Amino acid sequence: MTIITAQSRVTLHFELSLEDGQIIDSNFSKAPASFVFGDGNLLPTFEEVLLGMKVGDEETFILPPEKAFGAHNESNIQRMPRSQFAMDLEEGMVVSFADMSKNELPGVIADIGEKEVVVDFNHPLAGRSLTFRTHIVAIEATA
């Protein structure tokens, strides 16, 4: 029987939810998704929990923040002059910024003041424990 290894293409149904049960993403009512182990489509810690599973297995894993999207980091919250924004802003809005290397960096508008805007560059799920539920549909060897 084939099991998931670091050399597998995996087809699965999945669901991500928060501690309160709010579903963030799910494909259980849609076609299953496929990924090649290590291709970057899933966080490495999400892949690791799948190792050893076989077709038909259904599991639920609770991933603490450090195994999911990391801890919330206060140094990723920046205050910027309101004058830097030539657009209408709303709290919760995601704005794209360029870093020193011209890479795109999304930030969430956390607070809008008269003179400054607080932008949170943490991943929106940072600091949250996630429940990862999965059903393995198919496994193929890639090597």
Per-residue pLDDT tens digits for 84-105: 998 999 999 999 988 778 888 8
Q: Cβ of 57: how many Cβ atoms within 10 Å?
A: 15
How many angstroms separate the CA atoms of 108 and 60, rounded?
30
Higher pLDDT, 27 or 142: 27
Beta strands 104-112; 23-26: pairing state:
unpaired
Per-residue pLDDT tens digits for 22-65: 999 999 999 999 999 989 888 899 999 999 999 999 999 999 99
- What pLDDT, on the 0 to 100 scale, is given for residue 14? 97
Please tell us whether the domain made up of 74-120 is placed in CATH 1.10.510.10.
no
Q: What is the CATH number of domain 8-69+125-141?
A: 3.10.50.40
C-alpha separations of 85 from 70, 100, 103, 122 in Å: 28, 18, 19, 20
How many angstroms separate the CA atoms of 87 and 80, rounded?
14
pTM: 0.78
Domain locations in the chain as residue ranges: 8-69+125-141, 74-120
